[in-house]
């Protein structure tokens, strides 16, 4: 039986940060639909261009396409024993598709951790988010800034190269994504609560404290 863990929460709640830590601890991959869609940027097809436009506006990609890329990703060898799902499912249709996908494999979602953060902090977390060029390190200019800032430019601690910002982490798109979260994704808590899988985690604690709370929740559900 695999360990499939869903990290739910508003933009900036820390899903990506925590998914990486859990992935290292449990040796199962982080599956981020946002990362999978961003990876399509290198493709020059009408579909890939449409996906980038939708993302820039902060809207959701269709359930059909999203479910398809998740199905393909979970079919890979490294995801047979489980995965940390980051940013998926985000709608009822996706939650039902995921259940069906795992059922076919004789597996199921083990735990849904809802990282709770209020709207104001979510905006600052998303707007302040910066990445190293290789995307391996995530910083936040308000909450966990890098060591160096030269002539107004934030630099990666490791390589000293300038940090980059996501195209959809600018104010308008951030606010739109947060609205979409409260309208479309947050109602999923009832779906998972009814299955007895939901655990609430206060995301307004240090990265280490959130991580400890998550590991404790996973251990209790194993
Ligand atoms: P999400 O994937 O939920 O959108 P991220 O993991 O990308 O969120 O985190 C959003 C931003 O907030 C990043 O800049 C990250 O460095 C920062 N961050 C994440 N967790 C915390 C925390 N517990 N305290 C302060 N800053 C955090
Ligand atoms: P994220 O990196 O999770 O913040 O996602 C960035 C963007 O990718 C979102 O604003 C959506 O446009 C798209 N996206 C990511 N995951 C999903 C999903 N599960 N369903 C629909 N769209 C998604």
Ligand 2: nearest atom to the Cα of 38: 8
Can you list the residues of the chain whose pLDDT is less than 70?
none
* Ligand 1 center–CA 9 separation, angstroms: 11
Q: Is 149 among the residues known to form the active site?
A: no
pLDDT value, residue 221: 84
160, 149 Cβ separation under 8 angstroms: no
Sign of the CA dihedral running 92, 176, 85, 47? positive
Q: Is 90 among the residues known to form the active site?
A: yes
pLDDT value, residue 204: 96
12 lines ligand 1 (CB under 6 A): yes
Work out the percent of the chain whose per-residue pLDDT is above 90. Answer: 94
pTM exceeding 0.75: yes
Which class would CATH give 3-118+172-221?
alpha beta
Q: Is 119 among the residues known to form the active site?
A: no
| Number of Cα atoms under 13 Å in the Cβ half of residue 129 | 23
């Amino acid at each position: 039986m695999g360990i499939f863990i869903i990290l739910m929460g508003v933009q900036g709640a820390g899903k990506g940060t925590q998914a990486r830590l859990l992935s290292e601890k449990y040796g199962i991959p982080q599956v981020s639909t946002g990362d999978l869609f961003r990876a399509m940027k290198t493709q020059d097809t009408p579909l890939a261009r449409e996906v980038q436009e939708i993302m820039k506006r902060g809207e959701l990609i269709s359930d059909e396409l999203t479910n398809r890329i998740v199905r393909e990703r979970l079919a890979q060898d490294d995801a047979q024993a489980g995965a940390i799902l980051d940013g998926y499912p985000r709608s009822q249709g996706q939650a039902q598709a995921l259940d069906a996908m795992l059922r076919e494999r004789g597996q199921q979602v083990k735990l849904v951790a809802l990282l709770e953060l209020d709207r104001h902090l979510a905006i600052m977390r998303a707007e302040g988010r910066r990445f190293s060029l290789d995307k391996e390190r995530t910083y936040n200019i308000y909450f966990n800034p890098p060591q160096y800032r030269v002539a107004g430019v934030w630099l990666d601690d490791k390589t000293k190269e300038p940090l980059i910002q996501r195209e959809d982490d600018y104010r308008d798109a951030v606010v739109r994504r947060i609205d979409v979260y409260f309208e479309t994704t947050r109602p999923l808590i009832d779906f998972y609560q009814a299955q007895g899988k939901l655990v609430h985690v206060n995301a307004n604690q240090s990265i280490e404290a959130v991580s400890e709370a998550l590991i404790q929740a996973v251990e209790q559900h194993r």
